[in-house]
A and B are shown apart, each in its own frame.
Chain A
Amino acid sequence: MSGQMQWAPDSDGKVHPDDSILLAYTRRQSLGKSWPSIHQHIVGCERCLIRCEGFTVTSQSITDMLTAYAHKRYYPPLTERLSEYVENPAAADLAHRKRQQERLREDLALGKAVLMLPLSTVLKKLSPARGEPRNKAMASVSIFSIPAVVFLAVLLGVFIALAYSISSHPGLLPFRPFGGISTVVSPPSRFTVPAHSTPVPTATPVANSTGNGGPTANVTPTSTTAKPTITLCMTQADKNLSRIRFCGVNFIPGDKVELIIQIGTNPARARHQVTVDAQGGFQDFWYINACKDVPNSVYAQDMAHAEIFSQVLQNIQFGKCVSQNSVYP
């Protein structure tokens, strides 16, 4: 730290380092090239030594108090709260955008509140309280604050206009295919059975009327045989987080299964493998950031047994999003 060192004269006309330098000196902070001259002055200056001693005492008190303030406070680990975001960048992005949106809403509410304040109220807030002496300085503050308040109001107006224009831009809004978080019940998905050379189970849609609790199947297979089947089984939490979830049943326990999905006009691709549980079931989910990400077709393939695969789900409805036409026949 060099330069801009200020020395101030005392009542006797002698110059001394200012308090910021004395504090930095007592705190052993870098004073750059000025340190030798400062040190030389302080050790020979009783006034400076007394002030340094005062700063040392004060510093110790502040350190003790600030340490005591937060010491042994319990903060629950954030690792778990953030683990989902760590493992899923799409979730992190979604959460980040949601927070930004929340702040924007708060700022809008604040801006509105400021604009709604009558000028007299603003002046009252800026003026001294009743009973307090109203000296010239205070009077000048309130008078000169009028253009400042008007200027602030204009600025806020511009800010609100900008914020509204940003809010109305669909690309900047958080993706909420289910609209309100608590009231939406997903409509049943409609599946068609594609022409397929291998036998696949037929499926009929069943509405999930609860929308709460654990994963529930939206469709049930009509076939009575225990054929591998996948269903759309989103929970309310999934809907809140714009997450699509598929559940599989009647697979071989312990086998690895992967969902083969086809989105838009892209070729079909496999998602990561998941292990079938002891009951022959599995679940796989991912985040949907836009309607175009809703798959057209999904089916599950057993990785250990090529002949075992589920029916193909098509025309998948995810909130207000309906998947495009499948490339499957």
Chain B
Amino acid sequence: MVMDVQVVESLRARDAQAFRVLIERLQQPITGYLHRLVGNREVALDLAQDTFLQVYKEIGKTSEDLLLDAWIYRIATNFGLRYLNRVRLREFVGLDDPSNPEDFNISLMVPGPEHQAETRILVRETLLKMKPKDAACLQLHYGNGFTYEEIAQVLETTPEAVRKRVVRGVEKFRSLYEVSPQA
């Protein structure tokens, strides 16, 4: 987590260069995180763009001791969870086909052994079967290397709640994907 008061100050002063640097630093991890969360590359890109627009628009209203990265991930997570809720509601009312939630366009992936693509699809399906917040916790911890405390800041909850969500996600992952012979 970066808590750079100068960066926040520059952003609050609408420094275009500082904003550009911020986008360059966080674009890939944020988009990757959103991609794993929502399972759709184009949607992830749109949500990442929305996230940075929101950052640009709202940074002036934040306090000086802002934990910048946690705040940005919180915005991204909220966008992602909102999108997922909408998708689930669409599926519920029959506007979307729940059998085809993925955008797995193999041509967009780096060529590799076939099992890599299969793994991605299985991971994707497994994550979709979890509660969105559990999936977010799992991805932030395992995919982005966040500590429980950092995730708690992102999700505005307690580290204890994160601990429960992570273990629930791991158990779900293990039972659905059978990643461990131990399971």
The chain A residues found within 8 Å of chain B, CB to CB, are: 1, 3-4, 19-21, 23-24, 27, 29-30, 53-55, 57-59, 61-63, 65-79, 81-83, 85-87, 89, 92-93, 95-96, 99, 106-107, 109-110, 113-114, 117, 125
Contact = CB atoms under 8 A, between A and B. Distances in A.
Interface string B87-103: 00110111100000000
A75 B32 contact: yes
A57 B182 contact: yes
B10 interface: no
B45 A125 contact: no
Contact of B149 (A30, A54, A117): A30
Contact of B179 (A20, A62, A71): A62
Contact of B163 (A1, A79, A87): A1
A295 B112 CA distance: 58
A20 B149 contact: no
Given A58-B170, A78-B48, A83-B20, A24 B119 contact: no
Contact of A19 (B14, B93, B149, B167): B167
B86 A110 contact: yes
Interface in B99-155: 108-110, 116, 119-120, 123-124, 138-139, 141-143, 147-149
A77 B159 contact: no
Interface string B11-32: 0001010011001100110011
A57 B14 CA distance: 46
A79 B24 contact: yes
A222 to B, nearest CB: 42
B166 A23 contact: yes
Nearest to B126: A65
Interface of B: 14, 16, 19-20, 23-24, 27-28, 31-33, 35-36, 41, 44-45, 48-50, 52-54, 56-57, 86, 89-90, 92-95, 108-110, 116, 119-120, 123-124, 138-139, 141-143, 147-149, 159-160, 163-164, 166-167, 170-171, 173-174, 177, 179-180, 182-183
Contacts of A70: 32-33, 35-36, 143
Nearest to B29: A70
A66 B36 contact: yes
A4 B179 contact: no
Nearest to A19: B167
A74 B143 contact: no
Given A68-B119, A69-B120, A75 B31 contact: yes
A85 B53 contact: yes
Contacts of A85: 53, 56
B144 to A, nearest CB: 9
A78 B170 contact: no
A79 B20 contact: yes
B86 A55 contact: no
Nearest to B138: A62
Contacts of B164: 20
Contacts of B108: 73-74
14 contacts: A1-B159, A30-B148, A57-B179, A58-B179, A58-B182, A65-B123, A66-B142, A70-B143, A73-B108, A79-B24, A99-B53, A107-B86, A110-B89, A125-B92
Contact of B45 (A78, A89, A93, A99): A78
B49 A82 contact: yes
A106 B160 CA distance: 35
B146 to A, nearest CB: 10
A78 to B, nearest CB: 5
Nearest to B161: A4
A276 to B, nearest CB: 25
A4 B164 CA distance: 11
A93 B56 CA distance: 10
Contact of B52 (A20, A82, A106): A82
B109 A86 contact: no
Contacts of B180: 54, 57-58, 61
